[in-house]
Amino acid sequence: MAAELEFRVMGTNAHLIVVGRDARHTRQVAMWARDRLHELEARWSRFLADSEVSRMNAASGSPVVVSADTLGLVERAIEGWHRTHGTFDPTVLDALVAQGYDRDFDAIDDNTPAPADPLPAPGCADITIDRVVGAIRLPRGVHFDPGGIGKGFAADLVAAEVMARDVDGVCVNLGGDLRVEGDAPDDNGWVVDLEHPLTGRSMMYVRLRTGAVASTWRTRRVWGPPPARRHHLIDPRTGTPAASGLAGTSVLAGRAWWAEVLAKAAFLEGVTRGRALLAAHQASGYLVDDEGTVHTAGFAELFAA
């Protein structure tokens, strides 16, 4: 039997499925997982002044003591930056704000013009983490955006913590950043419907036994007056919305935070280099170009949509 919850968290629609033998216990675990996701949002949201991420960003170069959750998030973001040679960059926050994404997306002023002087990202090289004290120091002028990797890491954390609570399986889906573990509700396994970023229709199905999927689309968060329409996927090299020839990417990997890093990096690299990036990291993915053509990378178990 399965307990399912749908709710809003981290600025997106969440879908949570917990599979277990005891209906009451399974439901209780699902509700605990929902509350845990809201707890992580309270720690990581850049739109909450008292979140740990906001306190880090406001510290002007001083170290800030944070939770183990936030230490883990920043460590993985820096690892993603290193492993993609800076293509994935969590320090694009100032560029994103300059482009007009300075508040919860639903409240953005759609008439905000594009900035005259874009802000390239400073990178992660000088961010320091003190595991003994439990502190993070962002250098002056460096600001951290949890963005997609926060959703991916939250899905990983909660999936693992749910499985430690005597249930049989779990799916945590945070706006397309999805992690599954254990048994699915039926014998078909965890079957994920991947949408086409331009049409919104089913692009293909993938079956997961365990692992993660993350999708990145330039069509999902768009704002600004014509002809200055722009999206949230910032190229860290220029500080402007990326124009890579892609409409979106979907990546399969063992962990959702890593799938998110690779989906973002592959999008920024474009079709040819994006496919090479996924191959180098032994990940599978689907890159959809601006004409709507789907380019595959790696291997996945597919079903006709």
pLDDT in tens, 163-183: 999 999 999 999 989 999 999
pLDDT score recorded for residue 300: 44
What strands, in cross-sheet order, belong to the sheet with 177-182?
Answer: 2-9, 12-19, 169-174, 177-182, 211-217, 246-253, 284-289, 294-297
Q: Mean pLDDT over residues 127-132, rounded?
A: 97
Of 9-13, 41-45, 227-231, 247-251, the least confident: 227-231
Q: Which domain holds residue 70?
A: 2-303
- In sign, the C-alpha dihedral spanning 248, 254, 255, 261 is negative
* CATH number, residue 189: 3.10.520.10
Number of domains in the chain: 1
* Mean pLDDT for the chain overall: 92
Whole-prediction pTM value?
0.93
pLDDT, tens only, 21-61: 999 999 999 999 999 999 999 999 999 999 999 999 999 99
Distance, CA of 30 to CA of 19 (rounded, Å):
9
Q: Is the pLDDT of residue 110 over 60?
A: yes
Q: Among 226, 223, 196, which Cα is nearest to 305's?
A: 196
Residue 222 pLDDT greater than 50, yes or no? yes
Helix (H), strand (E) at residue 152 = helix 147-163
Rounded Cα gap, residues 141 and 249, in angstroms: 30
Q: Is the pLDDT of residue 289 over 80?
A: yes
**DSSP per position, 43-107:** HH-TTSTTSHHHHHHTSTT--EE--HHHHHHHHHHHHHHHHTTTSS-TT-HHHHHHTT--S-GGG
C-alpha closest to that of 117 among 264, 239, 261: 239
Phi, psi of 129 (to 5 degrees): -125, 125
Q: Lowest-pLDDT range, 41-45, 75-79, 101-105, 205-209? A: 101-105
Examine residue 227 and say whether the peptide bond preceding it is cis (omega within 30 degrees of 0): yes
pLDDT at 302: 38
Whose structure tokens read 């996945």?
300
Cβ neighbours around 28 below 10 Å, total: 16
Looking at residue 292, the DSSP 8-state letter turns out to be: -
Residues 6+ apart with CB under 8 A from 286: 194, 203, 204, 249, 250, 251, 294, 295, 296, 297
